[in-house]
Structure 1
Amino acid sequence: MSSISIGAQTNIAFKDSLESITKRVYEYKNNGDYEKALSDIEKGLQLAASSDNIESIVDFYNLSARLNIQYKKPINPGIYLKEAREVLSLYKYNDGRALTAILEAYLAAKDQDKTKAYTLINEALEAVDYNDKSLLNSVLFYEGLTHNELGEYNKAKSIFQKMIPPDHKYEKHYLSAASQLVLANIYAKDSNYESAGILLDNVLRIAARQKFPRILLGTNLLKYQIANKKEDYYAALLYYKKADSIKEKYFGADILRKQNEAAHTNEAQFLNNVIARMSQDEIEQQQKVNISKLTSVLSSALLIIISLLTISLYRNNQIKFKTNDLLLKKNKELQIAKEDAEKAMRAKGQFLSTVSHELRTPLYAVTGLTHLLLEEDPKASQKEHLKSLKFSGEYLLDFINDILQINKIDANKLVAEKIIFDFNKTLEDVIYSLRQTAKENKNVIILNIDENIPKKLIGDPLKLSQILINLVGNALKFTENGKVIVNAKLLNSDKGRYKIHFEVNDEGIGISEEMQQNIFESFSQGSIQINRKYGGTGLGLTIVRSLLSLFNSDINVKSEIGMGSSFYFSLEFTTPDPSEIIEVGSEDLEEAILKDLYFLIVEDNKINQVITKKMLAKKGINCDVADNGYDAIKLAKENTYDLILMDIHMPGISGLKATEEIRKFDKNIPIIALTALTIDESTDDFFSYGCNDIITKPFKPDLFYKIIGTSILKTTNQV
């Protein structure tokens, strides 16, 4: 078994080497390096012969003929094709026969032997595999050249028109350029200079981009001839100079001399090899005649070979064992490297989680106290400073949230939810939340929702809101005195599944094509100047792409500098069963609902206690404060509260454990987790312990009051 396995691996290695050599030969052939192409063909023949790869031997013979035809060398390409025929007479290889026959047809056409050319064309077309596009296009190309050499221009033109654009594994661009150049020559012969000019312009683009010197030379010479015939002598002179420059660079006298020397050397070597092979054949024939005399010798040799094979099998087994040991060692090293990388990722995540959590506590004090001071009617001179402080605090909060969001996605801590939600209201809430941002730059937000989209859908409204808030927020940031249009259009629906296309268009500064390549990378805003002028973390679009990946979707952009931008994506939703839809009353909260309520604040940080208590007092809410989880359980048993605000991270027992204990004697009181959420925490854990909702610290006051009011309303409705 081991010898077979090693043999198979050796064949794969040979194929890989032959593949790479073949690819290089096509590159050198078409890029003007005749000598390197010739050298690699020789290497390929040696390698194919050493591995008994008959098909590759035929392919390299045909490549030798094509190379010398293409470079118009003063040697006979037919010698390579004749040798290919010798091999094909012993082995069935239709692909090789098709290409050999069509190349022989072209050489027959060069000699104006029409009958032979047509016979060979038919042979090639019978042998070609029409599913092999590379082979088919090569055969069609030389068939077109054959008709062109015979002066049958209409047939040649028809073939080249049908094969454009060609499909080829190695020289798609070259065949395209060469075919169009021949077509241009045909059009020029008919004085159809306009069609020829269009083709030549296209050929120039391809040849210049792909660096095809022979095509460039032929194109400029044809353009020179056409310009002369049109009596545009100035253009003719320019094209002649270009052609002369290309000829001097790639086909100068010294270069041609070296190429011709290499061609003659190769031809002599090839013929010597043929003679040697023929001599070898004669020797083998002689050996067959005398084989009866050598029976005893061969028997002895056979015994020696069997012994050597036995030794070889033993050595192969030893190599196999050593190789397995080496693989085991390498696998162990890779496993250790993988574990180290995972540890580093966990350490990074834990570090960011700890840093973001620690930053939230003082940030809660900054944003909370700023809000309270703004509510206490400060002086005009103080108000501006407080507004700046509020903006900076909220900016830092958004940045921390973005970092945490990115790392949650990287750590696979986020999953797409599937809940029933009101589609129109979700989009309207996004627009409503950004109305103040829009006013700051004197922008208008327009929301267009396709009326065919169902009102109730099953999906993840929170992540959809995050995606749209990032996109619309970006659009507003980079637009002044303009419109930001949000479109939601139904693409298709099938059996309760609805695919919806979202698009956010703005009239802002636009994004250059170069910047579009990396705009979705973390901390990327296109340039330092943009970052300084417009601010932001550069994480918004990264978060959008990461969130969309949870739904197997992606974000795309269309934009031009000064012409605005358009970001678009598609998501699929399902519709709920009518029996699952529960209509919930409006969550709009009047201050009268909160007035005179009685809350319990569970918080170990003294500053946070003061801030939270004062913010609730602004709405007429009375509060008790517990410093830890034990006190919270005791106070909850002794008093009747309307709601509990529960901090999660506290000394002693955690807020989740305290919530679990309270739920043992009070199932109904709303408990809201008030926490600086870390990367390792899941919202599912909060709800499983008995929390009704979550407020992430530090929070924006409007959101704080809204979540509290919603919880009170839900409890009231249940009662």
Structure 2
Amino acid sequence: MKKNYFLSFIVVLLWLPGFSQTPAKAYKDSIQKLRKAAGEAYSAYDYNASIEYSAQLVRLASKFDDPSALFDGYNGLGISYEVLEDTLRAKENYEKALHYAELTQNDTLLGYAYNNLGNILSSQEKTVNDGLEYYKKAVGIALRLNDPNESLTPIINIAWTYLDNDNYDAAAPYLKKAWKLSSKSNNKSLQSNLLSLIGMYHSGKQEYDEARDHFQLALEVAEKDTLIVDASFAYKEYAEMLVKTGAYKEAYSALEKHQKYREKFFQKEKNLQREAVYGRFKTEFETEEYKKDLAAAQREQKYKDAVLAKTKQITAIMVFSLLVMLLFLILLYRNNRLRKTLIQELKNKNQEYMEAKEEAERLSLLKTRFFSTVSHELRTPLYGVVGLTSLLLEDNKDEKQKEDLKSLKFSADYLLALINDVLQMNKMESNLLQLENSSFNIEELFHGIVQSFKTTRNLNNNKIELRIDSNIPRHLIGDSMRLSQIMMNLVGNAVKFTENGKVWIKASCKQCSDGSCLIYFEVGDTGPGIPDDKQQEIFEEFSQLKSTNYNYQGTGLGLPIVKKLLQLFGSEIKLKSASGEGAIFSFEISFLKGDEKSMPVIKKTALLETEQDEVRKALIVDDNRINQVVTKRILEQRDFECDVAGSGEEAIAYLKLNRVDVVLMDVNMPGMDGMQATMEIRKFDPYVPVIALTAVEVGEMRDEILGAGMNDIINKPYNIPQFFQIIFKNLRQPVVDLE
């Protein structure tokens, strides 16, 4: 509504000359007097008197049906109500003024009507575009009249409307045009308001120095000519700009000055109102009509008092809001500083975490390498101990020495099992174990497990029962090696801690469908059992219950290994036991169904029939003299003719001159290792079988060994039957039947 004060004043000035002529001179004089009185009352801020004179003008002009005078009356009413912020009455009177302006067919009056109606419509959010259209119509009329000065008011109002709606780019060209036109005008009110509008533009564009300069110029013009309304408007917009820059004290001072001007403005109006009422009683027109008008004026005054009170309330709210905003900004600043501090601390913690993580990974890698190295270094001498002990047991006829050799072999086997368990735990903790799928026969696998415990079973006078469900498919696909490890640990514990009792192994089919089978496994014994309070403890690493059987104390790694291996299968171990009642360990694993085609079948050839009569020649490649002797002695027991090479280079030179049936190649040798030597051999002999002998865990190097061109792998130390099984399998070059 702020732009209307300035524009309404310009329109009132245009009333003073008058535009209509009537035949009766008395009527003409009355109309002119009423026009002049209404304009002077408006200029003196006496809006009640202005409304009264405009209403008399309407009543008088209605009697003579004078559209020009009616336009002046309704337009005067609209302007006064607009200043008093009674937009409904202002709009109603402006619309009537537009109607009579159209009847006069006077373009000048029509331009005024368009401009004033645009004031009301542009001040309401829903009708802003309608107000702009009326302004543009007023500009169009001025251009048609070829009078640039007449276009100044609607041009300013267009810019004003865009500024009120924060559309600064759209307002810019209209402000430039208005400034150019105003250079020829001496109207100080116009200049003050236009400078304020330019200040609003720069404030909106965040050009605060330019905005400050223009607001100060606007205030200088308004205060110099005592333009109360214009000064009030300039201070209000100046305060809003200062708030944006954070100059809250200056903004508060500007708001106080804005409020003082408004109060002065309304106080002057009150004084003039009292003088008008008093004068009215002293004139010859003191009639009943004036009493009614006085009552109306008093109602209007009450309305203005309410508006003034509301204005004070709004000012107080604004001041309070500014203080709250200032407090909020302070809190926001402190919060931002705290946030930056916390973010920096978080970055530091993350950096420490990453460094700790990298250090842990480095230590884990070092630990893995350490265990691998120690495993290899321990297995190499154990190969000699186990191998020589096995040979002595076969050759020695002295029963007393045989018992000692059995004890020696048992100790070596126990040490080997310990090394394997520790290495297995290390690999599982380092997440190096992965399941591998291959086809296997569960019945053959379990018979082999039972057979491997023959000695321990007889030692403790136990009986082992094997129960395999006939519904389980003959061939399954899964990781048979990990399953074998699980069963060996469970059966080993059962046999170890049971004396003069029974151990059973059970496998039953729970469900077979969609190409897979869920199999239930159970290992039970009639041993001493496990108390309830110890059943969780036994699955912890290096934890073991006390036993009277001191020959089989063990490391306490068996069951933790079983638990972690079952986690790879997505299963878990279950225990049912009580003290003195034995123990039953059970679990379930799902395997894929296999078929005959997936199982390699070794077809016998004529070579098998002459196996007994033929002498096979083997080359043993190993840098360890004890290992050379052990391997050679074992092979010679099966009528192999053996030669020995101490290095990879020596083996290559030998094979270039001699033909052998199999090469047993140590993997880790100084200089040229076994894999490098094999790759060189394959360059001139792609067919000779080369079998790796290694003390390193097979899973760590299997792909690398086979990729070098070796045919198979034997892990040291080994049991002799498995040793020959692998040799003969490769020696005979079996044909694999995949049908």
Name the TM-score class by shorter chain.
Answer: 0.5 to 0.7
Equivalent runs, 1:408-557 vs 2, <5 Å: 408-527=427-546, 529=547, 532=550, 534-557=552-575
SS at match of 2:718: coil
AA matched with 2:470: E
AA matched with 2:579: I
Tell me the CA shift for residue 305 of structure 1: 0.8
Structure 2 CA distance for aligned equivalents of residues 327 and 571 of structure 1? 45
Structure 1 residues 291 and 334: CA distance shift in structure 2, 3 A = farther
Q: Which structure has the larger Rg?
A: 2
AA matched with 2:558: G
The match for 2:587 is 569
The match for 2:416 is 397
Q: Of 653, 668, 682, which aligns to 1:663?
A: 682
Structure 1 CA distance for aligned equivalents of residues 704 and 613 of structure 2? 28
Structure 1 residues 364 and 639: CA distance shift in structure 2, 3 A = same
- Contact between 1:591 and 1:619, CA under 8 Å: does it hold in 2? no
SS at match of 2:520: strand
AA matched with 2:337: Q
Structure 2 CA distance for aligned equivalents of residues 345 and 679 of structure 1? 20
Structure 2 CA distance for aligned equivalents of residues 323 and 495 of structure 1? 55
Tell me the CA shift for residue 353 of structure 1: 1.9
The match for 1:352 is 371
Q: Which blocks of at least 5 consecutive residues in structure 2 are unaligned?
A: 1-308
- Contact between 1:559 and 1:566, CA under 8 Å: does it hold in 2? yes
SS at match of 1:652: coil
Q: Of 366, 391, 401, which aligns to 2:385?
A: 366
Equivalent runs, 1:242-321 vs 2, <5 Å: 295-321=314-340
Tell me the CA shift for residue 577 of structure 1: 5.8
Tell me the CA shift for residue 487 of structure 1: 0.9
- Contact between 1:354 and 1:678, CA under 8 Å: does it hold in 2? no
Equivalent runs, 1:73-88 vs 2, <5 Å: none
Deviations 1:161-203 (A, max 9, x none): xxxxxxxxxxxxxxxxxxxxxxxxxxxxxxxxxxxxxxxxxxx
Structure 1 residues 697 and 630: CA distance shift in structure 2, 3 A = same
- Contact between 1:633 and 1:661, CA under 8 Å: does it hold in 2? yes
AA matched with 1:385: D
Q: Which blocks of at least 5 consecutive residues in structure 1 are unaligned?
A: 1-289
Structure 1 CA distance for aligned equivalents of residues 337 and 713 of structure 2? 65
SS at match of 1:392: helix
Tell me the CA shift for residue 660 of structure 1: 2.1
AA matched with 1:381: K
Structure 2 CA distance for aligned equivalents of residues 501 and 393 of structure 1? 34
SS at match of 2:700: coil
Structure 1 residues 713 and 572: CA distance shift in structure 2, 3 A = farther
- Contact between 1:407 and 1:679, CA under 8 Å: does it hold in 2? no
AA matched with 1:666: D
Tell me the CA shift for residue 622 of structure 1: 0.8
Tell me the CA shift for residue 489 of structure 1: 0.8
AA matched with 1:459: G
AA matched with 1:475: A
The match for 2:602 is 584
Structure 1 CA distance for aligned equivalents of residues 561 and 684 of structure 2? 42
Structure 1 residues 470 and 657: CA distance shift in structure 2, 3 A = same
Q: Of 341, 364, 373, which aligns to 1:322?
A: 341
Compute the RMSD of aligned alpha carbons.
2.6
Tell me the CA shift for residue 544 of structure 1: 1.3
Structure 1 residues 522 and 553: CA distance shift in structure 2, 3 A = same
Structure 1 CA distance for aligned equivalents of residues 460 and 549 of structure 2? 17
Tell me the CA shift for residue 684 of structure 1: 2.1
- Contact between 2:504 and 2:523, CA under 8 Å: does it hold in 1? yes
- Contact between 1:486 and 1:505, CA under 8 Å: does it hold in 2? yes
SS at match of 2:586: strand
Count of residue pairs the alignment pairs up:
427
Deviations 1:692-712 (A, max 9, x none): 222221222233223223333
The match for 2:398 is 379
Equivalent runs, 1:593-608 vs 2, <5 Å: 596-608=615-627
The match for 2:713 is 694
Pick which of 559-568 and 379-388 moved more.
Answer: 379-388
- Contact between 2:473 and 2:594, CA under 8 Å: does it hold in 1? no
SS at match of 1:570: strand
Structure 1 residues 378 and 580: CA distance shift in structure 2, 3 A = closer
Structure 1 residues 483 and 585: CA distance shift in structure 2, 3 A = farther
Q: Of 407, 412, 431, which aligns to 1:388?
A: 407
- Contact between 2:697 and 2:715, CA under 8 Å: does it hold in 1? no
Structure 2 CA distance for aligned equivalents of residues 665 and 520 of structure 1? 53
Structure 1 CA distance for aligned equivalents of residues 597 and 414 of structure 2? 43
Deviations 1:420-471 (A, max 9, x none): 1222211222122222321221212111111111101111111111111111
SS at match of 1:479: coil
SS at match of 2:387: helix
Structure 1 residues 382 and 313: CA distance shift in structure 2, 3 A = same
Structure 2 CA distance for aligned equivalents of residues 363 and 603 of structure 1? 15
SS at match of 2:532: coil
The match for 1:335 is 354
Structure 2 CA distance for aligned equivalents of residues 530 and 543 of structure 1? 24
Tell me the CA shift for residue 401 of structure 1: 1.2
The match for 1:141 is none
State the TM-score, normalized to the length of structure 2.
0.55
Larger RCO (alpha carbons 8 Å, 6+ apart): 1
- The sequence identity of aligned pairs, in percent, is 46
- Contact between 2:519 and 2:590, CA under 8 Å: does it hold in 1? yes
Deviations 1:88-137 (A, max 9, x none): xxxxxxxxxxxxxxxxxxxxxxxxxxxxxxxxxxxxxxxxxxxxxxxxxx
Structure 1 residues 482 and 291: CA distance shift in structure 2, 3 A = farther
